[in-house]
Amino acid sequence: MEKGTYDLYEYARKRIRQKKGLYFHFVLFLLGSLFLFVANRFFDFGNGIDQNWCIWGITIWLFIFILHFIKVYITDRFMNKNWEKEQIDRLVGLQQKRLAQLESKINDENENKL
């Protein structure tokens, strides 16, 4: 397999793994939320605590799920391998430009001394 094709394959495999993890997290969130609600309402689990403790747990879990969703569908979509490569190329170009400027400055100073 060619390097370009292999890179595309690896990127696709990584994205599929991320999406699969997100879907699993969503199903786990739904089942876990249902379990927390049923445990609170029908089995009086945690009765001595706040009456609606399950709502707090579900809200925190929902916030974590939203962060996971943002990472998979927003952050990783735009900041992928191509973005990294462009940033590296840009920074290397800036460094090379700065080195060239420093070399020319050193050469000019050496010529002035002679």
Contact predicate 14/72, CB 8 Å: no
Q: How far apart are CA 67 and CA 24, in angstroms?
A: 15
Q: How far apart are CA 70 and CA 73, in angstroms?
A: 5
Q: Is the predicted pLDDT of residue 100 greater than 70, yes or no? A: yes
Contact predicate 58/37, CB 8 Å: yes
Q: What is residue 52's predicted lDDT score, i.e. its pLDDT?
A: 75
Mean predicted confidence (pLDDT) in 83-90: 83
Output 21 or 6, whichever has higher pLDDT.
21
The dihedral built from the CA positions of residue 20, 26, 31 and 32, taken in this order, carries a sign that is positive
